[in-house]
């Protein structure tokens, strides 16, 4: 930690602050937009807002923990550890709740049959929780081997989720309205690409000689990569993904309303 500069500390500080604002704003947007879509898609927007609300709360806690872990002398341009432990476990508590919900909101907005919705939501939700749970022991490990082991194990459910998204939902995507099909594909790609960024950040401390993500042992560069990297990935995977869910719901709602209007006009007076 002797290598962390004031500028690096402030970069993480500002990134976490931005994360709070982004998640909070997204929550208001999703919940206030609920009534603009057809009734069958409103649950997806409620869950989108719930995901970003949970994230906003945990980013507030991470921000407070980060601020409390350092003593900053802006006048002298120095920074030192305060002795308070930085609790990055807030991220894993957040992911354990929000990552399964992200998959559920995608399934809900696709409008599958009830049985398919329940089975796919349960299957993907359990896999997502398992992925997060397996990653945590490696995050707090004190040696590189353990970090690599648990990180590798967490990749197994991650790869199964990728398979389910690309192949398990293929027929369901084909059955989506034409005006929403491209958006559903985009939502899947955003999920895959943003989630793929997490393992990169997870293993990044090893490239800087740190065996875990503890700020007392890693370099300033590694701390910035981990904290800013996870924050960027979270904003894209939660707030950005939620916007796509809203766009899909809006497109499908427009198609549903147009179809109902046509059926009403076709009925005899």
- Judged against a pLDDT cut of 90, whether residue 222 lies above it is answered with no
Q: What whole-number distance in Å separates Cα of residue 210 and Cα of residue 31?
A: 41
Q: What percent of the chain lies above the pLDDT cut of 70?
A: 91
Q: What percent of the chain lies above the pLDDT cut of 90?
A: 50
Average pLDDT on 49-65 reads 97
Average pLDDT on 60-75 reads 90
Helix (H), strand (E) at residue 140:
none
Instruction: Say which CATH architecture domain 6-255 belongs to.
Output: Up-down Bundle (1.20)
Its pTM stands at: 0.90
pLDDT digits (tens, 9 = 90+) for 118-155: 999 999 999 999 999 999 988 887 778 888 899 999 99
In sequence order, what are the beta bridge partners of 79?
72
Most confident range (mean pLDDT) of 16-25, 144-153, 158-167, 214-223 is: 16-25
Closest CA to 58 of 95, 29, 26: 95
Residue 153: Cβ-neighbour burial (10 angstroms; 0-12, 13-18, 19+): middle
* pLDDT at site 263: 59
Among the residue ranges 2-11, 28-37, 59-68, 179-188, the one predicted with the least confidence is 2-11
Q: What whole-number distance in Å separates Cα of residue 121 and Cα of residue 168?
A: 12
Closest CA to 44 of 104, 119, 120, 97: 104
Q: What whole-number distance in Å separates Cα of residue 21 and Cα of residue 159?
A: 31
Give the chain's length.
269
* pLDDT at site 110: 87
* pLDDT at site 226: 87
Residue 209's pLDDT band, with cuts at 50, 70 and 90, is low
Residue 52 has a CB neighbour count (10 Å cut-off) of 28
70-73 and 78-81 beta bridge pairing: antiparallel
- Judged against a pLDDT cut of 70, whether residue 215 lies above it is answered with no
Spans of all domains in the chain: 6-255
| Cβ proximity of 26 and 242 under 8 Å | yes
Q: What whole-number distance in Å separates Cα of residue 109 and Cα of residue 107?
A: 6
Closest CA to 239 of 97, 89, 56, 109: 56
* pLDDT at site 267: 59
In sequence order, what are the beta bridge partners of 73?
78
């Amino acid at each position: 930690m002797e290598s962390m500069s004031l500028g690096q500390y402030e970069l993480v500080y500002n990134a976490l602050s931005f994360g709070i604002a982004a998640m909070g704003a997204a929550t208001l947007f999703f919940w206030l937009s609920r009534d603009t879509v057809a009734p069958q898609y409103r649950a997806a927007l409620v869950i989108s807002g719930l995901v970003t609300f949970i994230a906003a709360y945990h980013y507030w806690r991470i921000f407070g923990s980060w601020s409390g872990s350092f003593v900053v002398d802006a006048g002298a341009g120095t920074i030192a550890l305060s002795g308070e432990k930085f609790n990055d476990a807030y991220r894993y508590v957040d992911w354990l709740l929000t990552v399964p919900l992200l998959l559920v909101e995608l399934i809900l907005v696709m409008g599958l049959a009830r049985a398919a919705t329940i089975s796919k939501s349960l299957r993907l939700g359990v896999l997502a929780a398992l992925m997060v749970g397996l990653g945590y022991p490696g995050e707090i490990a004190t040696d590189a081997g353990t970090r690599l082991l648990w990180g590798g194990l967490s990749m197994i459910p991650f790869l199964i989720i990728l398979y389910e998204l690309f192949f398990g939902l293929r027929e369901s995507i084909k059955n989506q309205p034409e005006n929403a099909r491209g958006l559903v594909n985009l939502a899947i790609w955003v999920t895959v690409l943003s989630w793929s960024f997490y393992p990169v950040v997870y293993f990044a401390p090893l490239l800087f000689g740190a065996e875990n993500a503890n700020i007392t042992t890693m370099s300033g560069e590694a701390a910035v990569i981990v904290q800013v990297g996870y924050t960027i990935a979270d904003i894209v995977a939660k707030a950005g993904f939620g916007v796509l869910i809203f766009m899909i719901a809006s497109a499908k709602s427009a198609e549903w309303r147009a179809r109902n209007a046509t059926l009403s006009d076709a009925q005899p007076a």
